[in-house]
Amino acid sequence: MSDPRTPTKPWAFWLLFFGFWLTFLVLFRGQPFNDPGAFWHIRVGTLIVDNQSFMRTDPFTWSNAGKFWIPQQWGAECLMAIGYRVGGFDTLLTLMGALLAGLAAWIGKRFLDAGLHVLPTAGLLAFGLATAGFHFYLRPHLATIVLMAVFMGWLVDFDRDRIGFKKLLWLIPLCILWTNLHGGVLGGIATIGLAVAGWAITRRFPLPLLVRLTLLVVACALGTLVNPFFTGMHRTWWSIVDSPMMKEYVVEHQALSLARSDGQAVVAFGIFYLIMLAGTLPKRPRVTWLVPLAWLALSVTSIRHGPLFCSVALVALADFLPETVWFRLLRKYGDTFAMEPREPRSIGWKGWSLPIIGVAVAIGLQRAEKPVPVIGYAWARFDPKLVPIELIGPLHEYALSKPEGHPIFNDANLGGFLIFNAPRLKIFMDDRFELYGEKWLEEYIDMVHNHPERIDEWAERGHFDRALVESDSVLDDYLKKPESKWREVERTTKATLYELK
């Protein structure tokens, strides 16, 4: 039997980190780049770093040139741009994998402290992260997935009297940092608010402390004003959250559907969490054990909340697992996998040193262009079914033949690809729905689904002579007709490039 005073050994933490990091690099070699935002976020960060200033009007489109737009995820975008300059997409893939592996190892450390063996710990983490995996794209929202777990961990530790109120004050600067990385900070503040409300209802803490906790929530909310755009950031967030078009046409903003694999995965993990939580009965559940249920409910209304549910649920599960009947049965019949909980201690810099060295070695190999499998140069790849990489050359050649800022027509999901690979051109649109407005988006959706002939009207208005559209779409069917004004330049599985006759 282990001594509860003995902290968890670093080797188990390292095993979890490197296991999940290398697994991520193998299994998610191409997925992070299958989202249009993966491209334009890098370009936005590059412009900010190069110009050392923030844009307040759209710099990419000809259709909405000069319209108000701010880079509300500027901090993460600058980090992405710097990472790309260091070692291209290989380094971005490496850093993304390290971020998620670090999250897995940090949560895993909490399971190990709870007395669970490293093997079932890895299994539970794999279940949770695989459920959230449908949202693992190279975008700033990764910061929200990680910071939600960190906030949840501190709330759990405070509820357990492991940390005091003074340490919770660090949530204020973390909220400021989070604000400038991703709008998901609102979810973090809401999570704190839910916990405080639950503690007030259950009278977990005395009134003076509850007052201070309430003021902490207010301070975190006010901290979101510490950004380069003040309330402009909040107006942008609201325009995204309140957009009917986003909810109708963007899958990640739609309600959970059991017809899709992402909805099935979230429901499966939700049922698993409920079963594990039921194992604590008849003990009265702690407030922090119930907080993930709020995120499970939000996942039903919008599937994009599914990864956040997984993140906070894993942290809560690590806390209450030793108090479940399932853990007691495991100790009785498989004591190799379940032991006496250990005294929780921070892993410290000693524990993080080896992962940092491993990531640094990988980035060094990428900088030196050494094609080592998994961690070296040229490991990141693009799926030609989702990214039209064959068109990069023709588009680049065309852009160089035209004056900078020349317009081109494109489908929304191809906008980010053009912004990154043909920056000399001005695009028609992309997936930044907050820029275009509901009326403009309605007209666009109506055109691409019902009236493809309107592209000819746009050609006269925008003076473009190239169109990049998704292959086998309504627009593609119209443009390839012999009687149309367009001729095909090059076709790929994902997209087709046309030119005006």
User: Quick one: pLDDT at residue 380?
Assistant: 96
Query: Per the structure block, which two tokens stand in for 205?
Result: 């803490």
Write the pLDDT tens digit of every residue in 400-454. 999 999 999 999 999 999 999 999 999 999 999 999 999 999 999 999 999 999 9
Residue 255 neighbours by CB distance under 10 Å: 11
Mean pLDDT of all residues belonging to the chain: 95
Confidence tier at 1 by pLDDT (50, 70, 90):
very low
Position 37 pLDDT exceeds 70: yes
What percent of the chain is predicted at pLDDT more than 70?
A: 98
Mean pLDDT of 373-393: 96
Write the pLDDT tens digit of every residue in 322-337. 999 999 999 888 778 8
User: Quick one: pLDDT at residue 339?
Assistant: 85
pTM: 0.94
**In sequence order, what DSSP letters do the residues of 240-308 get, joined into one string?**
HHT-HHHHHH-GGGSPP-TTSHHHHHHHHHHHHHHHHHHTTTTSPPPHHHHHHHHHHHHHHH-GGGHHH
Distance from C-alpha of 428 to C-alpha of 391, rounded to nearest angstrom: 17
User: Quick one: pLDDT at residue 243?
Assistant: 86
Higher pLDDT, 192 or 348: 192
Tokens 């402009």 sit on residue: 232
User: Quick one: pLDDT at residue 5?
Assistant: 46
Where exactly are the structural domains of the chain? Answer: 10-34+72-354, 389-500
User: Quick one: pLDDT at residue 54?
Assistant: 97
Write the pLDDT tens digit of every residue in 50-78. 999 999 999 999 999 999 999 999 999 99
Higher pLDDT, 245 or 107: 107
Write the pLDDT tens digit of every residue in 174-199. 999 999 999 999 999 999 999 999 99
Distance from C-alpha of 71 to C-alpha of 57, rounded to nearest angstrom: 9
